[in-house]
Amino acid sequence: MTSTKPESKIINKTVLPTRSPVEIRQLFSEFVRVFLVIVFMKMFLVDIYKIPSASMTPTLIGGMVAHVDVNGDDRRDIVFLDQQQQVPFVFIKSPSHYIYNKAINPDTIQLSRWDQQGMLTPQHDRILVNKLAYWFHNPGHGDITIFKVPERLYRPQAPIYIKRCTGTPGDLLTFDSAGHLRVNGQKLEDPGFFRTQQYVDHINSNNRGFFQRPEIEYEDIDNISFQLRSIRVPDDEYYVFGDNMHGSLDSRYWGGVPQNHIKGRAFMRVWPPGQINFLR
């Protein structure tokens, strides 16, 4: 009688490589180095910020927005909805830039339709800020700056503002009849934003952020409104305006930013992915 032995089964097992204590220490050391580099960059070189509001539209967006063609020219314009006041801001797209247009005012029905179609959505751009930008030179006209909010406006939920530098210490700022900003009598033209946008030279004194400033020459319009005749920027301060001059609480209302409050210069938008670009 022939005896048979049960067939042995061969089981393939994946053997995970084991790391020696030396290799583990090397990996940990690499991790620590990378972590320290990231911390160093964030502390001293660059930082990332989220845009919270409409004050820098159309350059930077923070809030409810629709990218739609509102004037029938086959270009996607920007419609920004101020959710606090339920007021839409419309920026028409030209071949090279956007221009605010107060004559186009979508009604609530149109806004509701865009919302239902998923075209009105939240967008909060992310930007990179060069924290070393002003170690070697001072802020210049047109720089998009990040700064600590003046104490009289400080709120824990919004400790940092972002605006465009429009006046340096000692500058005389005025507005011409076309709404262009003039510095010491000369029209600002660089960067190109200054050539294409019209600034608002009147303010509502009922705004919660309004503080009458000695360096500003005001002219009464009515009981609650002033026109800004001229601004002499104080020494060691910078004047900053939002690119959305119809929806920005900025130096026109509360004055200049001390130089030691400026934290850096925004130089690049890194979010959303389809809108990555260098800032000007």
Question: For the segment 145-182, what is each residue's pLDDT rounded down to a tens digit?
Answer: 999 988 878 777 778 999 999 999 999 999 988 888 99
Alpha carbon distance 144, 250 (integer Å): 13
DSSP 191: S
The per-residue pLDDT for 24 is 67
- The three-point CA angle 159-163-169 to 5° equals 105
Alpha carbon distance 66, 59 (integer Å): 15
Of the candidates 125, 166, 152, 163, which has an alpha carbon nearest to the alpha carbon of residue 263?
Answer: 163
Query: For 117, how many CA atoms within 13 A lie in the half-sphere containing its CB?
Result: 11
Of the candidates 116, 49, 123, 118, which has an alpha carbon nearest to the alpha carbon of residue 83?
Answer: 123
Element containing residue 37 per DSSP (H, E): helix 21-40
The per-residue pLDDT for 36 is 46
Kindly tell me if the per-residue pLDDT of 11 is higher than 60: no
Question: For the segment 201-241, what is each residue's pLDDT rounded down to a tens digit?
Answer: 989 888 878 888 999 999 988 888 999 999 999 999 999 99
Q: Where are the alpha helices (DSSP H) in the chain?
A: 21-40, 108-116, 193-196, 251-254
Question: For the segment 237-274, what is each residue's pLDDT rounded down to a tens digit?
Answer: 999 999 998 888 899 999 999 999 999 999 999 999 98
The per-residue pLDDT for 16 is 52
Q: Let me know how long the chain is.
A: 280
Residues pairing with 126 in the sheet: 50, 271
| Residue pair 187/166 in contact by the 8 Å Cβ criterion | no
Omega of the bond prior to 159 within 30 degrees of 0, cis? no
Higher pLDDT, 40 or 117: 117
Confidence label for 195 from pLDDT (cuts 50, 70 and 90): confident
Residue 14, token pair as written in the block: 């994946």
Average pLDDT over residues 5-10: 48
Is the Cα dihedral 168, 99, 65, 175 positive or negative? positive
| Domain annotation for the chain: domains and CATH numbers | 44-55+125-278 (2.10.109.10), 62-122 (no CATH)
The per-residue pLDDT for 35 is 45
